[in-house]
């Protein structure tokens, strides 16, 4: 129960007026950017990283928490009012939510999404606060071989097991791993794949890759398809409040969605899509009015939205305790931490305990702010949806390139950004998922050094990886997860795209 004491300390930090203002700014700009069509939470966080460059680590991580939750909330607003989900985890929300909006029940759809997200994030953040210290106690005993095994699991599950095509996911992962090789090797100082370009010695920035693949790739795709005219957002008519019946039909899906989302998010398997799909199917089976599914059932919004947010909080468990990002959003968050030389992992909880618990407390605060700010401000967000697409995408490109040159003012960085944009466009066009590349770039060098440290300790004997039962089991799980989709084609039913 030591968590409670730490959490109180965290709240003492997060409740300071400056930090509350940071959280509020984060929530507002996170929602504003997340609402824009085609922008998911990963891109929201990547685009807004430069805003936090010059703040102190505590303040910026708190702002981050707000941006993250705000971006998630903004995505569901877009899904409900536009039917163009900004991320794959909102696809299910769009199914029922958009139908509800079309039949004039947009208000209650937004309300059940907002309150469901609130309930889910509240419970899941509580779960994070209590699960993380337990996991840290296990994780400090991990040797480099265990980390290597964990990373193999993450590689396989992120790219192969739950993707539409394991081959395409693995190819995307390989691209990320290859980019991860670039630069000076941490252990020996050997330059890899730099081709004599001094700017490449530092390696490829995760944010440059994420912004290039997501923002520029998406802009190229939208332009190439001639989707010039924005879809008209459906106006929110009538009361935004939920009726007694809406409440009655919503609270159980919220809780079930949370129970599905948090554990799946916390596993090093990644993806908020699976819990949202599972939640949708369960709610359809359990609903007293199953005939409403497909034409706007409130359970179909409440459950998946709760599952989505709970799993987002769940991905923070492996991220903070093991330094293991299992989604593109988490990978970009990790890049944000590294900007301040903060390396998530078990040591984080001893070295920067104040920061971790301040972050957890800020998640609670950001969550309350979202609920208070967003329902009344929904009219403002709807207006953002009506920005003409040429200006919207031109603005996104200006911001994307600004963030890149602010982080690293060199023409090489801009050329890399453009190159990644072209690759991102081709990957989208030919249905290759983008998220595994981002995860590969950030985990590749970590897996490399974990493997090499293991082999140094065993004096070069690779069997060390299977001599330890813990790492042997993890490598076996990774192998099974890699082979399974080829054997059971049905497993790849769940599409996992970038979020």
Which residues of the chain form contacts with another protein (CB under 8 A)?
Answer: 50-51, 53-54, 165, 167, 170-171, 174, 177-178, 181, 185, 187-190, 192-193, 195, 216, 219-220, 222-226, 228, 389-391, 393-395, 397-399, 401-402, 405-406, 409, 411, 414-415, 418, 421, 425, 429-431, 444, 448, 451-452, 455-456, 458-460
Q: How far apart, in whole angstroms, are the C-alpha atoms of residue 18 and residue 24? A: 10
- Token pair of 171 as six digits: 């190819």
Judged by DSSP in three states, 375 sits in coil
Judged by DSSP in three states, 114 sits in helix
Q: Which is nearer to another protein, 225 or 244 (CB)?
A: 225
Distances (CA, A) of 58 to 27, 43, 133, 354, 366: 16, 22, 20, 9, 15
**CB 45, min distance to another protein, A:** 17
Judged by DSSP in three states, 162 sits in coil
Q: Which is nearer to another protein, 1 or 459 (CB)?
A: 459
**CB 456, min distance to another protein, A:** 4
Judged by DSSP in three states, 492 sits in helix
Q: How far apart, in whole angstroms, are the C-alpha atoms of residue 305 and residue 277? A: 10
Neighbours of 197 (CB within 10 A): 12
Q: Which is nearer to another protein, 216 or 435 (CB)?
A: 216
**CB 53, min distance to another protein, A:** 6
**CB 402, min distance to another protein, A:** 6
Q: Which is nearer to another protein, 133 or 419 (CB)?
A: 419
Instruction: Scan for tokens 């916390």, then name that residue.
Output: 266
Q: Which is nearer to another protein, 222 or 319 (CB)?
A: 222
**CB 182, min distance to another protein, A:** 10
Which 8-state DSSP code applies to residue 408? S
Q: Is the CB of residue 413 less than 8 Å from the CB of residue 50?
A: no
Q: Residue 163: enclosing H or E segment and its boundaries?
A: none
- Angle at CA 301, nearest 5°, toward 295 and 302? 140
Complete DSSP assignment for 260-296 = HHHHHHHSTT--SHHHHHHHHHHHHHH-S-GGGTTS-
- Token pair of 491 as six digits: 């497993």
Q: Which is nearer to another protein, 15 or 51 (CB)?
A: 51
Neighbours of 106 (CB within 10 A): 26
Q: Which is nearer to another protein, 193 or 472 (CB)?
A: 193
**CB 477, min distance to another protein, A:** 19
**CB 283, min distance to another protein, A:** 31
Q: Which is nearer to another protein, 254 or 425 (CB)?
A: 425
**CB 468, min distance to another protein, A:** 16
């Amino acid at each position: 129960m030591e968590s409670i004491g730490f959490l109180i300390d965290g709240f003492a930090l997060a409740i300071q007026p400056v930090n509350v203002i940071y959280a509020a700014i984060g929530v507002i700009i996170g929602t504003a950017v997340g609402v824009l069509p085609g922008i998911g939470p990963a891109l929201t966080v990547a685009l807004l990283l430069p805003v936090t460059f010059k703040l102190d680590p505590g303040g910026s991580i708190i702002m981050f928490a707000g941006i993250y939750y705000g971006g998630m909330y903004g995505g569901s607003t877009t899904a409900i009012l536009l039917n163009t989900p900004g991320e794959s985890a909102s696809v299910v929300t769009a199914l029922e939510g958009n139908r509800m909006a079309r039949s004039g029940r947009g208000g209650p759809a937004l309300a059940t999404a907002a309150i469901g997200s609130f309930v889910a994030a509240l419970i899941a953040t509580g779960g994070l606060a209590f699960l993380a210290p337990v996991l840290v106690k296990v994780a400090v005993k991990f040797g480099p071989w265990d980390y290597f095994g964990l990373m193999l699991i993450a590689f396989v599950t992120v790219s192969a097991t739950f993707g539409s095509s394991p081959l395409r996911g693995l190819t995307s992962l390989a691209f990320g791993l290859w980019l991860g090789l670039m630069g000076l090797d941490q252990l020996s100082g050997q330059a890899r794949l730099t081709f004599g370009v001094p700017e490449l010695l530092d390696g490829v920035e995760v944010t440059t890759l994420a912004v290039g693949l997501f923002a520029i790739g998406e802009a190229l795709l939208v332009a190439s398809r001639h989707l010039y005219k924005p879809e008209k957002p459906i106006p929110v008519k009538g009361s935004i409040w939920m009726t007694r019946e809406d409440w009655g039909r919503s609270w159980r899906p919220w809780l079930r969605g949370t129970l599905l989302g948090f554990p799946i998010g916390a596993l090093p398997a990644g993806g908020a899509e699976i819990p949202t799909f599972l939640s949708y199917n369960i709610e359809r089976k359990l609903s007293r009015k199953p005939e409403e599914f497909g034409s706007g059932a409130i359970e179909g919004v409440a459950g998946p939205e709760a599952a989505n947010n709970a799993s987002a909080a769940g991905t923070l468990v492996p991220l903070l305790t093991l330094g293991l990002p299992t989604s593109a959003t988490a990978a970009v968050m990790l890049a944000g931490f590294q900007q301040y030389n903060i390396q998530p992992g078990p040591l984080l909880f001893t070295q920067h305990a104040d920061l971790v618990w301040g972050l957890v407390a800020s998640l609670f605060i950001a969550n309350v702010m979202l609920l208070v700010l967003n329902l009344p401000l929904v009219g403002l967000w709807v207006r953002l949806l009506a920005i003409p697409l040429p200006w919207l995408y031109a603005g996104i490109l200006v911001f994307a390139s600004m963030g890149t040159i602010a982080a690293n003012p060199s023409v090489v960085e801009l050329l890399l950004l453009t190159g990644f944009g072209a690759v991102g466009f081709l990957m989208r066009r030919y249905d290759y998922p983008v998220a595994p590349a981002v995860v590969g770039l950030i985990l590749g060098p970590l897996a490399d050094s974990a493997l090499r440290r293991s082999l140094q300790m065993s004096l070069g004997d690779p069997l060390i990886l299977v001599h330890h039962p813990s790492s042997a089991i993890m490598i076996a799980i990774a192998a099974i997860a890699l082979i399974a989709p080829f054997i059971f084609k049905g497993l790849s039913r769940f599409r996992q795209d970038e979020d």
